[in-house]
Amino acid sequence: MKFQTVSDASRHSGLLGFFPRLIQRWDVLQILVMLILLAIGFIFIYSTGQNVSEATAQYFLGRQLYWTIAGVLCWLALSNLDYRSFRIMSWVFYGICLILLVLVLEIGMNVYGSTRWLALPGGMRLQPSELVKLALIMMLSAILATMNFNVNRISSWILISVLTATPFLLIVRQPDLGSALILIPLTLGVVFLGGLKWRYIIIGATLFATIASVEFVNEYKGYYPLLKPYQWQRIMVFFDPERDLQNRGYNQYQARLAVGSGGITGKGVGQGTQNTLGFLPKSVSNNDFIFSVIAEETGFIGSLTLLLLYGLLLYSVMRSAIRAPDDFGKYLGGTIGVLLFVHIFVNIGMSAGITPVTGLSLPLVSYGGSFIVLTMSSLGIMQSIYRSAE
C-alpha cells in the first residue's frame, strides 16, 4: 500500500511537472505563433480559391496541406537534431542546391515565362531557389564560425562573394530576380553578425549606391540593358504606379485598393469583392498578394493582428539566436531572422505599394510548397538552437 502511494505521488508530480518541462525544452511561443499563421494561411488560401470555384478552393487547400505535412516532418527532424551537426552538412546541402539549380535550367518546368521548378511525382513542383536561401545561410555561418576566420580580410570577401554569386547568377538565368536579390541581404546579414567593421559597411554601401545609380541610368537610356523588359517595367511602375494600370501596374493597383477597402473590421472572410469578383487574379491572390485579401476581409484589426504575430515570430527567432551557445548558432539564427524579415517586409510592402513586385512569399501564410518547407525547416533549426541553450 505504501509503494502504491509513492507511485501515485510520483505520477502526480510528473504530470504537474510536464508543462514546465515542456516550456523549458521547447520554444512554445514560436510553436504557437507558427501554428496560428499556418491556420491563417489555410483559411485565406481557401478564400482566394473561391473566386474561381469550390473545387479550385479545395484543390489549393489540399496541395498546401500536402506541403505543410512535408514541412512539419522537416521541422520535427531538424528540431530534434543538434544544430551543430549542420556545420558539416552545410557544404553537402549547398552543393546539392547548386546541382538542382543547374537541373532547373536544363529540365525545369516553364510556368508564366520562367523556368523555376522541377516536376515531382503526384503533380507537385520543387523550387530549388527557395532551398538555396537556407543552404547559403548555413554555409556562410559555418565558414564565419571557423576558428581564425576574419571577415574583414580581402580573401574572405572574395570567398564569400563567389559562394553568393554562384547561386545568384543561376537564379537570375531562370529568370527570378526577386529570389536572387534576397541572397544579398542574407549575405550582408551574416557578415555583419560576423564582425564586419563599420568602415567597410560604409564603403560597401557607397559602392552599391554608385553601381545601382549607374545601372539605373544604363537601363533607362537603354545602352546595354541587363534586365528583362518586364523586370524594368516593374521598376518603372513602382515609381509611377499609374503609368500602366491595364498591364504591369494592374495587380499592385488592385492590391492597394483591396487593402484600403477593408476599413477597420473588414468585409468578412470570403466576402472581399476584390478577391471574389476576380480583380485580384487567381495566379497571384493566394501568394504574392495574399496580404491584400487578408486586409480586405479582416480590415485594420486583422492586418494589425497579423503584424503582431510576425513580430512575435521574429522576436522568438532573435531571442534564440542571442541565446545560442556558440558563434555558429548566433550567425545561423540571426540570418534566419533576416530571411523571415525580408520576406515579410517585401511581401506586405507589395500590397501596400511601398516595394516593387518581386514574387516573395509571406512566411507560413502564402500558397507555395517549397517556401513552406524552407520556412518550417528554418524554424526547426531555431528550435534546436533554443533547446541547446538550456
**Residue 126 domain flag:** yes
**Residue 16 domain flag:** no
Indicate the average pLDDT of the chain: 87
Q: Which domain holds residue 255?
A: 28-388
Residue 7 has pLDDT above 60, yes or no: no
pLDDT of residue 6: 45
pLDDT of residue 2: 43
The residue-averaged pLDDT of 75-98 equals 94
Residue 97 has pLDDT above 60, yes or no: yes
**Residue 367 domain flag:** yes
Q: How far apart are the first and last CA of the chain?
A: 39
pLDDT of residue 331: 96
**Residue 23 domain flag:** no
Residue 11 has pLDDT above 70, yes or no: no
Q: Which residues contact 105 (CB under 8 A, 6 or more apart)?
A: 115, 170, 173, 174
Q: How far apart are CA 187 and CA 191, in angstroms?
A: 6
Q: How far apart are CA 348 and CA 305, in angstroms?
A: 14
Q: Measure the CA angle with vertex 363, ends 232 and 275; round to 5°.
A: 70
Write out 19-38 in H/E/C secondary structure: HHHHHHHCCHHHHHHHHHHH
Residues 323-347: tens digit of each pLDDT: 999 999 999 999 999 999 999 999 9
Number of domains in the chain: 1
Model confidence at 288, pLDDT cuts 50, 70, 90, reads confident
pLDDT of residue 39: 96
pLDDT of residue 321: 96
User: pTM above the 0.75 mark?
Assistant: yes
User: Contact at 8 Å (CB) between 382 and 27?
Assistant: yes
Residues 136-177: tens digit of each pLDDT: 999 999 999 988 889 999 899 999 999 999 999 999 888 888
Give the position of cell 510548397.
369
Nearest to 79 by CA among 314, 389, 378: 378
User: Contact at 8 Å (CB) between 64 and 362?
Assistant: no
**Residue 19 domain flag:** no
**Residue 7 domain flag:** no
Phi, psi of 116 (to 5 degrees): -125, -10
**DSSP assignment, residue 358?**
-
Q: How far apart are CA 162 and CA 240, in angstroms?
A: 35
**What's CA 231's distance to the chain center, in Å?**
21
The residue-averaged pLDDT of 277-296 equals 82
The residue-averaged pLDDT of 101-124 equals 84
**Residue 264 domain flag:** yes
Q: How far apart are CA 384 and CA 215, in angstroms?
A: 42
**Residue 290 domain flag:** yes
pLDDT of residue 353: 82
pLDDT of residue 23: 63
Taking CA atoms, 196 is separated from 93, 137, 185, 339, in Å, by: 26, 16, 14, 19
Q: What count of other Cβ atoms lies within 10 Å of the Cβ of residue 106?
A: 7
Residue 167: is the preceding peptide bond cis (ω within 30°)? no
The residue-averaged pLDDT of 237-265 equals 78
